[in-house]
Structure 1
Amino acid sequence: MSMHPLLLSPETISLLERVSVALLVGGLVLSYLVVYRLGDRPSPFQRLRTRFIVGIPWGTVLVVVGVYLVYHVVQGAGDPGGPNVVGFRSWSLWYPQGILFSWLSHASSAHLTGNLLATVVFGGIAEYAWSHYPTETGQQSFSSWRTNPYARVGLYVVGISAVGLAGSVFVPGAIIGFSGVVFALAGVAIVTRPLVTVGGILGLEGVDLVYSGFQNPVGFAEARPDFSVPYWADTALQGHLFGLVAGVLLGVALLRYRKRSPNIGHVWFAALVFTVSRSMWTLFWFLSDTEFVLFRGLGAASVVVLASIIAIATLPDPRPLVGERIEVPARRVGVVILVVLVVLVALAGVPYNLADVSSGDGVDGGIEIDGYTVTYAENVEDQYTSLDIPVVGDALSVDASGVIVTSDKRNVWSLETPRDELALNGFSVVVIGDSTWREVVIMNHTQWQLSGGNSTYKVYGQHWQEMDDQQLLFTAPLGEGQPTINGSRFGIVPSTEFYDIAVLGENGTRDRVQMPAHNESVDLAGVTFTRKNNRLIARHEQTELLFAEYRTERER
């Protein structure tokens, strides 16, 4: 818990948190009284009991609990270093553990929270449409396994698991997260309860706000430099599309089985609101590890067209697509297009997930642990993202710089921390392993920033358990200072021991001396260099200037 050091004491913060939570609870109670007491509306639990066992969507509850346990127990979110993310992505069909766990795993607590809250909302709507009890008139519960409420809960969970595993197998890319299943649940909800789904989309914001209010009733923030990428560049759009379309097809099948149909306008509106609010218009590609191109216009057109196709697929009758001359039913066209979308994703996904991914050039050496290699490299080709297409050639090739994790036997090639992020933070924590073991690797970045010039730096790696055993993984070229002092230009050069100060000549460095220790000085070319804590001061006669500043993770 952070605290403003000048204004608030821990006791004051604790009091504010308790008061905030109490007011939040009071606001929720007041809202319930206004809507369901003063408004003479029946309790929502009464209606839920007509569809759910004791009014609880048990299938959704079981799924939420299972996903939560995978993150905290299997991925080890509470262990040193946080959750293991690398070992739980769907890297390849040759890595079955990744395929099995990727759809249940998450990259962070925020990732987990967002998906679980969405599961509660859309999963509850989809499970309500499915129902624990028979919906047809005359059918009785427990008359057969199809009408058994407990069997129906089990089928609902099995269906969710099937969609999740299908996404891991057929969606291209190293997917991680439950969002593919969330989109499938939303797809079922959109076609079976479109207006309720729109309310759920709006309600999700409220649920998230209330949850955050209980989790962090009082928060503090301050302006500071940070490394970030566009939010749309960190989403698996292909997985979201696969899940949504699969869910819509399941929902349409349920409607056909029960001989029901929604209002096509309501379905179109719900589909459009969902796809826009969930940023499915963000069609993008990589220009580098930190640069992206967004096709906004194409994305906007695609969500409008997708909403229309989803609405057409739910038409209640076989009306023709265009007038009376074309006798092909419009709803069949809609369903076929959706099926083709799923098949196209799978046709791209299966070969991609079967491809052999090697470590590539430039990432040799590093910290090796049970088939994993953790290293640092710059301007190397991303072996997992780059595509080798004969016609296009290297146009889609992406270069990466930063902390890289590879594993040939698992088809892993992952840029875990981009170069600029590591330089800003000064360190990076990398967790590797699988469901049976884990190791933590700490990457440290040290840097001398020269006044008026560039910088030079080194990157070390070490096991978390062996903090005194650092391995030098990368040294940058020398940093050149801009000022000319006593007729000479100087720079800083990384060395095996630490860094050296060097006199720069036309063909590189001439003379060099080791960087002085704290509060000590060295002379070079008639200039005295004194290190005061993390500042390197250059002095000549009556002139003194800040030549360079040393930065590590401890000073950032």
Structure 2
Amino acid sequence: MIFITIPALTLLVSAYPALLSSEAVTLIEQASLALLVGALVLSYLVIYRVGERQSPFVRLRKRFVVGVPWGTVLAVACVYVVYHVVQGAGNPGGPNVIGFRSWSLWYPESIVFAWLSHASSSHLTGNVLATLVFGSIAEYAWSHYPTVTGQHSFSSLRTNPFARIAMFIVGLSLVGIAGSLFVPGAIIGFSGVVFALAGFAIVTRPLVTVGGILGLDGLDLVYSGFQSPVGFAEARPEFTFPYWADTALQGHLFGLVLGVLLAVWVVRRRSRSPNVGHVWFAALVFAVTRSMWTIFWFLSDTEFVLFRGLGAASVAVLASVIAVASLSDGRPLLQDRIEIQARTVGVVILVGIAVLVALAGVPYNLADVSPGEEASDGIEIDGYTVTYAENVEDQYTALDLPVVGDALSVETSGVIVTSDERNVWSLETPRDELALNGFSVVVVGDTTWREVVLVNHTQWQLAGGNTTYKVYGQHWGEMDDQRLLFSAPLGEGQPTINGQRFGIVPSKRFYDIAVLDANGTRKQVRVPAHNESVELGGVTFTRTDNTLVARHNRTELLFAEYRTEREQ
């Protein structure tokens, strides 16, 4: 039926464009949602009715109070509340991200909230769906009820189901706080906890975890189908980073290791024996599908280097170490040669990884990040400064750290936010992204207040490819009070007109057209207003909307085009 419906819809839309009206799209969306719900119900009936399998809710009630993984559900509810209420995602400008990264121990509010906060709705959705999958598996392995037959559920705190739910939540919180404290970099997001849940699930329920990895894609598809049953797209230029350059690998690794170590402790206390081959396979599949092989570094704010070969080898070694650490017996590492227990070696390596990450993270969280000269002229709001600068040293990567010194420092350009008292130095919008989009919205604040700054980029693109531009900033509450944050050098046009070269130069009043000579500009006049003309050097320049045309005698050519922001 579906294979017939798709071609039919395609033919109808092609033949009758009116079907794309808002009323028709709404009808198609409703029909799509109905089909999706029907397909899910049909799948359930086929598996658990026609297939005569036991309903999953019966099994869940054996491990969960009323069949619900309450710890996982409460964690998801908590991150939703933080994102929509504390970060203010529904307010103008979107969520406050800058104030909720783990910048420094000297800014404890960011440490407390960083692991619960998110940078965008897609970031939140990805972590929530992964939490539902891996959190449910981990909580099922932990169980709300004691696993020893005949033991009374309420005989002690250790066996009380409500106390066990609380312990699960406390464990998640401790892992999250540990990530904020010890992972290097200004981390934000619940992914460290998600990876800890996955690490716990890999050791305790390896094959179920592999199924969960596959099921996560299906869950994401179903969620997207409900959220946006009909989607429209068009080709357009975009400013994008490589997907692997936006991965907090250090936080993911730290969380995974903590989750594995906790699981190893639990299975040993319960005298369980995980299948080492299954654990290795689950760990490898998880590490590969979650892009834990993406070992990279910054060459600049828009250039990166990826060590793919090293990453591929690392995930294979990591899976092997996790599998060895999960061994239940005391077999030696190498028979008749090394008497040290293999599982001890695995655990020591995992602990060493966590310690190394922490040793790198603690100096970051203790260091004093001071803004440079780029923050001397910007928009100041309660300790924050929003500005624009080019070719300046990233102060957050320029920290004088033990061993490496300032060797990791890079130069950057774009919209920058600093706060001396909070140890904040953040490149919010790279120069090229601002030039493409024409604007940037910056939100600053904390749990008690928020303010929005709008940064605008205006640009003249001259014939021959040269550009000149200006960057303005304005406080959202003071939209009539623009502040000039940056002016680019003169942009020189390539054509020679009437034996002269012309260019456009930013000025206080707007932009000027300039006649160029060997020593620079000789004379300049303001770029005309819309549908007006000016004369300079015997050449007439006429502006029609955002196009500037040069005319001399009977020769006419496009001289420059003006752009403020890309059409959205």
TM-score (norm 1): 0.98
> What CA distance in whole angstroms lies between the structure 1 residues aligned with 2:285 and 2:485?
48
> What CA distance in whole angstroms lies between the structure 1 residues aligned with 2:474 and 2:266?
55
Other-structure match for 1:524: 536
Residue 388 of structure 1 and its aligned partner are, at CA, apart by: 3.6
**Preserved CA contact (<8 Å) 1:453 1:480:** no
**Preserved CA contact (<8 Å) 2:257 2:354:** yes
Residue 6 of structure 1 and its aligned partner are, at CA, apart by: 7.0
**Preserved CA contact (<8 Å) 2:436 2:566:** no
Structure 2 residue 378 is matched with structure 1 residue 402: no
Other-structure match for 1:534: 546
Structure 2 residue 563 is matched with structure 1 residue 551: yes
Residue 555 of structure 1 and its aligned partner are, at CA, apart by: 5.0
Other-structure match for 1:302: 314
> What CA distance in whole angstroms lies between the structure 2 residues aligned with 1:61 and 1:396?
40
Give the letter for the 2:518 counterpart.
E
Other-structure match for 1:353: 365
Residue 156 of structure 2, aligned match among 106, 127, 144: 144
Count of residues paired in the alignment: 554
Residue 393 of structure 1 and its aligned partner are, at CA, apart by: 6.4
**Preserved CA contact (<8 Å) 2:514 2:525:** yes
Q: Tell me the secondary structure at the aligned position of residue 50 of structure 1.
A: helix
Give the letter for the 1:266 counterpart.
H
Residue 316 of structure 1 and its aligned partner are, at CA, apart by: 1.4
Give the letter for the 1:246 counterpart.
L
Give the letter for the 1:370 counterpart.
D
**Preserved CA contact (<8 Å) 2:363 2:401:** no
Residue 470 of structure 1, aligned match among 472, 475, 482: 482
Pairing 1:337-376 to 2, within 5 Å after superposition:
337-376=349-388
**Preserved CA contact (<8 Å) 1:379 1:399:** yes
Structure 2 residue 58 is matched with structure 1 residue 46: yes
**Preserved CA contact (<8 Å) 2:460 2:468:** yes
Other-structure match for 1:267: 279
Structure 2 residue 185 is matched with structure 1 residue 173: yes
Residue 395 of structure 1 and its aligned partner are, at CA, apart by: 4.4
Pairing 1:98-247 to 2, within 5 Å after superposition:
98-247=110-259
Q: Tell me the secondary structure at the aligned position of residue 263 of structure 2.
A: helix
> What CA distance in whole angstroms lies between the structure 2 residues aligned with 1:246 and 1:364?
42
Deviates more, 1:32-41 or 1:385-394: 385-394
> What CA distance in whole angstroms lies between the structure 2 residues aligned with 1:65 and 1:472?
43
> What CA distance in whole angstroms lies between the structure 2 residues aligned with 1:142 and 1:102?
35
Residue 417 of structure 1, aligned match among 423, 429, 433: 429
Residue 386 of structure 1 and its aligned partner are, at CA, apart by: 3.1
Other-structure match for 1:504: 516
Unaligned runs of 5+ in 2: 1-12
Give the letter for the 1:269 counterpart.
F
Q: Tell me the secondary structure at the aligned position of residue 54 of structure 2.
A: coil
Structure 2 residue 5 is matched with structure 1 residue 31: no
**Preserved CA contact (<8 Å) 1:374 1:405:** yes
Residue 336 of structure 1 and its aligned partner are, at CA, apart by: 0.5
> What CA distance in whole angstroms lies between the structure 2 residues aligned with 1:31 and 1:222?
33
After superposition, give the CA deviation of every residue in 1:476-514 in whole Å (9 maximum; x if it has no partner).
Answer: 000000000000000000000100000011111001011
Give the letter for the 1:520 counterpart.
E
After superposition, give the CA deviation of every residue in 1:344-381 in whole Å (9 maximum; x if it has no partner).
Answer: 11111111110010112333210000100000000000
Residue 137 of structure 1 and its aligned partner are, at CA, apart by: 2.2
Q: Tell me the secondary structure at the aligned position of residue 375 of structure 2.
A: coil
Give the letter for the 1:494 counterpart.
P
* Structure 1 pair 34–322 and aligned structure 2 pair: CA distance change class (3 A): same
Q: Tell me the secondary structure at the aligned position of residue 327 of structure 1.
A: strand
Residue 96 of structure 2, aligned match among 84, 87, 90: 84
> What CA distance in whole angstroms lies between the structure 2 residues aligned with 1:394 and 1:168?
23
Give the letter for the 1:171 counterpart.
V
> What CA distance in whole angstroms lies between the structure 2 residues aligned with 1:10 and 1:205?
30
Structure 2 residue 439 is matched with structure 1 residue 439: no
> What CA distance in whole angstroms lies between the structure 1 residues aligned with 2:364 and 2:403?
18
Residue 7 of structure 1 and its aligned partner are, at CA, apart by: 5.6
Q: Tell me the secondary structure at the aligned position of residue 144 of structure 1.
A: coil
> What CA distance in whole angstroms lies between the structure 2 residues aligned with 1:267 and 1:287?
36
Other-structure match for 2:493: 481
Structure 2 residue 20 is matched with structure 1 residue 8: yes
Give the letter for the 2:499 counterpart.
G
TM-score (norm 2): 0.96
After superposition, give the CA deviation of every residue in 1:436-471 in whole Å (9 maximum; x if it has no partner).
Answer: 000000000000000113000000000111111100
After superposition, give the CA deviation of every residue in 1:126-175 in whole Å (9 maximum; x if it has no partner).
Answer: 00000000001231111111111111101100110000001000111000
> What CA distance in whole angstroms lies between the structure 1 residues aligned with 2:354 and 2:360?
10
Q: Tell me the secondary structure at the aligned position of residue 291 of structure 2.
A: coil
RMSD (Å), alpha carbons: 1.4
**Preserved CA contact (<8 Å) 2:296 2:306:** yes
Q: Tell me the secondary structure at the aligned position of residue 155 of structure 2.
A: coil
**Preserved CA contact (<8 Å) 1:448 1:551:** yes
After superposition, give the CA deviation of every residue in 1:275-324 in whole Å (9 maximum; x if it has no partner).
Answer: 00000000000000000000000000000000000000011111010112
> What CA distance in whole angstroms lies between the structure 1 residues aligned with 2:299 and 2:67?
50
Unaligned runs of 5+ in 1: none
Give the letter for the 2:514 counterpart.
A
Give the letter for the 1:476 counterpart.
A
Residue 20 of structure 1 and its aligned partner are, at CA, apart by: 0.5
> What CA distance in whole angstroms lies between the structure 1 residues aligned with 2:19 and 2:35?
23
Residue 535 of structure 1 and its aligned partner are, at CA, apart by: 0.4
> What CA distance in whole angstroms lies between the structure 2 residues aligned with 1:265 and 1:508?
72
**Preserved CA contact (<8 Å) 1:249 1:335:** yes
Other-structure match for 1:61: 73
Give the letter for the 2:336 counterpart.
E
**Preserved CA contact (<8 Å) 1:453 1:479:** no
> What CA distance in whole angstroms lies between the structure 1 residues aligned with 2:244 and 2:260?
23
**Preserved CA contact (<8 Å) 2:19 2:25:** no
Q: Tell me the secondary structure at the aligned position of residue 397 of structure 1.
A: coil
